Amino acid sequence: EKQWAYEHMNQRDASIEVFGSIAAKGQVTLVYALRAVTSGTFTLPTADLVAMYQPDVWSRTQGGTTVIRGPWAEKP
């Protein structure tokens, strides 16, 4: 897999929209950073991809969970 050379990213506190081209049957990696503001166990939503102007061409990743820990996790 290669890192995706996307054309535009719209990054918000609760979501990321990324726009660019991917070759047919291509596979790319998107790297992004998150900011943890509290510790705990959180749900990772799916990543949904749709071909612009071709809504019948789409893909979805599997969701999951993640655990955020930090020095603040042990404090009351």
| Mean pLDDT by groups of 10 residues along the chain of 76 residues | 84 87 85 82 89 88 89 62
- What pLDDT shows up at residue 74? 62
pLDDT at 10: 92
pLDDT, residue 29, reads 87
pLDDT score of 70: 76
Q: Are 4 and 47 in contact (CB under 8 A)?
A: no
Residue 56 is encoded by which pair of tokens? 């019948």
Tell me, yes or no, if the pTM score tops 0.75: no
Residue 71 is predicted with a pLDDT of 73
Confidence (pLDDT) at 8: 93
Q: How far is CA 43 from CA 54, 64, 65, 66, 68, in A?
A: 29, 6, 4, 6, 11
